[in-house]
Structure formats: structure tokens, C-alpha cells
Amino acid sequence: MGYSIDNQSPGQEVRITEDEPWATATVRLRPRGGILVGSVSDKTTGKAVKGAWVQYILIDNGGGSRYTDGEFQMAVPADSDLLVLVWAKGYKGWLYNDASSPTRPVLRLASGERKVLEVELEPLPKTSTQP
């Protein structure tokens, strides 16, 4: 847990052919990333939100995202300032905000540290098509 392509790049290509049906490779893993797990539910009904996106953006470089049907688990880079956003069609977007530092909405996890987020998305108001 905590290892992903996102925090292990760049990788090394290994080729297997008929002439050489085996490969010798040394795998050196960088330190584990943080682990972000949680759920996304409708704030009004409490039901899981199908088709939600959970995304992190590294303040200094890049990011990653996961499609979820209500629950998610993803490795994130360790010791980096991350913006964490969640959105789904028909809902207001959600941005992680640390209650202990509300003016700085970033998440920072140490290697192997696990953070659980219980995200409640607020439905957008229904628009009337009647005059």
C-alpha cells in the first residue's frame, strides 16, 4: 500500500522476446507515498455518489485522479503539498480543508501515512424549465 506509478516514476522498460524469454531486472522502489482512502456520499440522502472524481494536485508539479462509485483508495506523493478536490455531475465541488489550518487548504502526508476522508457532496439546486 502506498506504492504507485505516480510516486515511482521514471520506470524502466523490460522486454521479453522469443529469443530471450526471461528478463533480469532489479527493482528499486522509492519511498512509499501517502495513502488517501474514503467515501463520497450525497449530503442530503447519505447515499454513495456514483461517478465522482477524486483528484489531487501537487502544488509544485502534476497530480492524479481516480474515478469512484462512492469509495476510493489511492497512493499520493509523500511529503508534498496537495490540493484534494472531489466533484461529480449535479453536485457542488469539494475541496479538502484542514480544520487546524483553514487558510491553507492543503494535505501533506508522510510516507505510509493514511488519511481517511468522508466527503459529502452538496447537490446543485434543480433549475426549473417552466416559465
The C-alpha atoms of residue 26 and residue 43 are separated, in whole angstroms, by: 48
Residue 11: inside a domain, yes or no? no
Which CATH number characterizes residue 54's domain? 2.60.40.2190
Residue 19: inside a domain, yes or no? no
User: Which residues span the domain enclosing 53?
Assistant: 34-120
Res 30 pLDDT > 70: no
User: What pLDDT, on the 0 to 100 scale, is given for residue 10?
Assistant: 60
User: What pLDDT, on the 0 to 100 scale, is given for residue 32?
Assistant: 79
Residue 6: inside a domain, yes or no? no
Looking at per-residue pLDDT, the higher value among 73 and 26 belongs to 73
Here the cell at position 114 is 493514511
Looking at per-residue pLDDT, the higher value among 101 and 123 belongs to 123
User: What pLDDT, on the 0 to 100 scale, is given for residue 88?
Assistant: 96
Res 43 pLDDT > 70: yes
Q: What's the structural domain count of the chain?
A: 1
Res 48 pLDDT > 60: yes
Residue 12: inside a domain, yes or no? no
Residue 45: inside a domain, yes or no? yes
Res 123 pLDDT > 90: yes
The C-alpha atoms of residue 94 and residue 87 are separated, in whole angstroms, by: 6
Residue 66: inside a domain, yes or no? yes
Cα distances from 68 to residues 49, 52, 65, in angstroms, run 8, 5, 10
Contact call for residues 64 and 98 (beta carbons, < 8 A): no
